[in-house]
Amino acid sequence: MKKKVTFDLIVIGSGGTGTYFLKEISRFLSSSNNAKALVASMTIIDGDTVEGKNLSRQCFTEQDIGLHKASVMAEVLNQSFGLNWRAYTEYITDISQIKKHCEK
């Protein structure tokens, strides 16, 4: 019997490019049971918080100001697409921080 291969999906950065990428990959995953079955875990990593200057070019609202970008995005994507994104709200300074988010 073949062992099922799964992947840990980790997106680092949920700002300008990250918000749009996260929205589209979430849309894809929610519409494809085959793709969703291949993903063991989904994590958004970003230590940044939402500021007023982000509102003009990133997918955030005034109510999000002061909150962690990763947390806001995880909540919105989970509610909108029925997924299970997790948020890691610290900056990455060492590869071991990423490795601990990969499920075995």
User: For residue 16, which of 69, 68, 66 has the smallest C-alpha distance?
Assistant: 69
pLDDT for residue 103: 54
- Tell me the pLDDT band of 2, cut-offs 50, 70 and 90: confident
Two tokens at 23? 């929205």
Determine the average pLDDT of the residues in 8-17: 92
Average pLDDT over every residue of 100-104: 64
Which secondary-structure segment (H or E) carries 12? strand 7-12
What pLDDT is attached to residue 40? 87
- Number of Cβ atoms within 10 Å of the Cβ of 45: 21
